[in-house]
Amino acid sequence: MIAATVPDVLVFVTAALLIVVGALGVLAVRNPVHAALSLIMTLFGVAIAFVAQSADFLAAVQVIVYAGAIVVLFLFVIMFLGVDRREHVEVEPLVGQRAFAGIGVVITVAGIVALMAKSHWVTGAVAVSGGGAPIVPGSANVREVGTAVFTTYLFAFEATAALLIIAVVGAVLLARRERRRDEMDEATASAAPETEGSDR
Amino acid sequence: MTVPAAWYLVLAAILFGIGALGLLTRRSALIMFMCVELMLNAVNLTFVTFSRTLRDIGGQAAVFFVMVVAAAEVTVGLGIVVSVFRRRNSTSVDELAEMKG
């Protein structure tokens, strides 16, 4: 209906295949390490979709932050805890939980798509048939995003700085308090006075 | 000109549905966190699509903030998972049926 060239369609199909197959892998795979690798596949598919819609900066951040940091954090925790054994997927403690979840999700997705289609994909028929913003050659996506973040959304940016500090402090506290209590338990169990105060 | 925005929106809806299904059916806390990431990525895809369609850079700025919040959420969440695993020796959420530590 709309003139999209063959390479654009191919890029979209590639991104969609990566996204859907990776997401289904996260959903179905038993091994948590394999699930994390499927998640990387999905994240790369989303990065391709970002590039195809000329969000270059976000695509780079997607690969660096998501695939580079968050998934590595997942893998680190999986291997640190040693939970890379299989989950018992066959056991179903709540009867009919999967059926109800599947029905609910299908209804939700169908509702979303129907609502969007009914409202002409929310943007009105003109904008959709126009195909969106033209990619101006030489327009720096990084400059546009940076200008918006540092002027219009400056308060939100500062708030994220505070949020990151709080998250770091919280993670350190969660990991540290537990370890100190274990050490105290060990110290009282073995009654060895030289292990006390070694970490303080 | 790229493909219509509706294709990306439907793709994002499908990705969101898969993430929600995984969140509702899987019981390992780590896998549930991964499914939350899937849902966040679906919303990010929607933001970028509307940013392109409406010619507004604000959508991409919103995705930037979503990524920051997701990173913070994963950090704290995995810290909690590690803390719970030390107590219970399991990451299954079915065994976390009480608030008592």
- The full DSSP string for chain A is -----HHHHHHHHHHHHHHHHHHHHHHH-SSHHHHHHHHHHHHHHHHHHHHHTT-HHHHHHIIIIIIIIIHHHHHHHHHHHT--SPP--S--SSTTHHHHHHHHHHHHHHHHHHHHHHTGGGTHHHHHHHTSS---TT--HHHHHHHIIIIITHHHHHHHHHHHHHHHHHHHHHHHHHHHHHHHHHHHHHT-GGGTTS--
Q: How many domains does chain A have?
A: 3
- What integer pLDDT is reported at residue A188 of this predicted model? 63
Report if residue B13 sits inside a domain: no
A44 touches chain B (CB under 8 A): no
Neighbours of A161 (CB within 10 A): 10
Report residue B10 CA to chain centroid gap.
17
Q: Establish if B33 belongs to a structural domain.
A: yes
Residue-wise pLDDT tens for chain A (200 aa)?
455 788 888 999 999 999 999 999 998 888 889 999 999 999 999 999 999 988 889 999 999 998 888 999 999 988 888 766 655 555 666 777 888 888 999 999 999 888 888 776 655 444 443 444 444 545 678 888 888 888 888 999 999 999 999 999 988 888 775 555 556 666 666 654 544 444 43
Asked if A10 and A78 sit in the same domain, the reply is yes
Residue A195's pLDDT is 45
Range of the domain at B36: 28-90
Could you tell me which of A10, A142, A60, A119 has the C-alpha nearest to residue B2?
A10
Q: What ipTM describes this predicted complex?
A: 0.90
Cβ neighbours of A95 in B, within 8 Å = none
* Chain centroid, CA B59 distance in Å: 17
Q: For testing the chain B interface, which of A44, A77, A185 should be mutated: the one with the most B CBs within 10 Å?
A: A77
| Whether residue A82 sits in one domain with residue A1 | yes
- In A, residues 135-154, which contact B (CB 8 Å cutoff)? 141, 144-145, 147-149, 152-153
Give yes or no for B76 touching A (CB within 8 A).
yes
Instruction: Name the residue range of residue A50's domain.
Output: 1-86
CATH of the domain at A26: 1.20.120.1200
User: Are A153 and B63 inside 8 Å of each other by CB?
Assistant: no
- Do A76 and A21 have their domain in common? yes
Q: Which residue of A has its CA nearest to B16?
A: A109
Asked whether residue B100 is domain-assigned, the answer is no
A5 shares its domain with A69: yes
pLDDT of A199: 45
Question: Chain A contacts of B74, Cβ < 8 Å?
Answer: 70, 73-74
C-alpha to C-alpha distance for A127 and A167, rounded to whole angstroms: 40
Contacts of B19 in chain A (CB under 8 A): 23
Please tell me the predicted confidence (pLDDT) of residue A89. Answer: 55
Which of A86, A106, A123 corresponds to the end of one domain?
A: A86
pLDDT at residue A30, rounded to an integer: 83
Please give the helix or strand (H or E) that residue B98 lies within, else none: none
Q: Is A47 on the interface with B (CB under 8 A)?
A: no
Assigned domain for B63 exists: yes
Q: What Cα–Cα distance (Å) separates residue A177 from each residue in B23, B29, B35, B56, B88?
A: 29, 21, 28, 45, 16
Q: Which residues of A touch B3 (CB under 8 A)?
A: 2, 4, 8-9, 12, 52
Tell me, yes or no, whether A80 and A100 share the same domain.
no
- Record: contact B79-A127, CB cut-off 8 A: no
- Taking only residues 79 to 98 of chain B, the set having a beta carbon closer than 8 angstroms to any beta carbon of chain A reads 79-83, 85-86, 91-92, 94
Residue A192 lies inside a defined structural domain of this protein: yes
